Amino acid sequence: MFYTLGENLEPWPEDKEITWDHVLGLLPQEEASLSFLPDRFAAYRPLLLKTVRFCKVENEADYLYGTLLIPGKGESKRKQGISFFLWDGNLLLIGDDSFLSAYLLTFQSVKSRGPIDAGLVFCDLLNYLIGNDLTYLEELENRAERMESAVLSDSTEHFDHRMMGLRKELAAFSHYYSQLADLSVSIQENADSFFSEKELRALRLFAERAERLRQETQMLREYSMQIREVYQAQIDIRQNKIMKILTIVTTIFLPLSLIAGWYGMNFVHMPELSWRFGYPAVCLLSAAILLFCIWFFKKKRFW
Per-residue pLDDT of the chain (303 residues; tens, 9 = 90+): 888 888 788 888 877 877 888 888 888 877 556 777 778 788 888 888 788 888 999 888 788 899 999 998 877 678 889 999 998 888 999 888 888 888 888 887 765 567 788 888 898 899 999 988 999 999 999 999 998 888 888 777 788 888 898 999 999 999 999 999 999 888 887 676 778 888 888 888 999 999 999 999 999 999 999 998 888 888 888 888 888 888 888 887 888 888 888 777 767 777 777 777 877 888 888 888 888 888 887 887 766
Q: Rounded to whole angstroms, how far apart are CA atoms 69 and 248?
A: 58
Give the CATH superfamily of 243-299. Answer: Magnesium transport protein CorA, transmembrane region (1.20.58.340)
pLDDT at res. 220: 94
Contact, 194 vs 59, CB < 8 A?
A: no
pLDDT at res. 31: 59
Give the CATH superfamily of 1-114. Answer: CorA soluble domain-like (3.30.460.20)
Which alpha helices (H) appear in the chain, and where do they start and end?
Answer: 45-48, 97-109, 118-129, 133-152, 159-189, 197-263, 271-274, 278-299
pLDDT at res. 196: 82
Burial (CB count within 10 angstroms: exposed 0-12, middle 13-18, buried 19+), residue 50 = exposed
pLDDT at res. 113: 62
Q: Rounded to whole angstroms, how far apart are CA atoms 229 and 100?
A: 42
Backbone phi, psi, residue 91, to 5°: -135, 125
- pTM attached to this predicted model: 0.77
Do 1-114 and 243-299 have matching folds?
no
Tell me the pairing of strands 80-87 and 10-11. unpaired
Average of per-residue pLDDT values in the chain: 84
Helix (H, G, I), strand (E, B) or coil at 231: helix
Evaluated on CA atoms 11, 116, 86, 48, the torsion sign reads negative
Domain boundaries, the chain: 1-114, 243-299
pLDDT at res. 112: 56
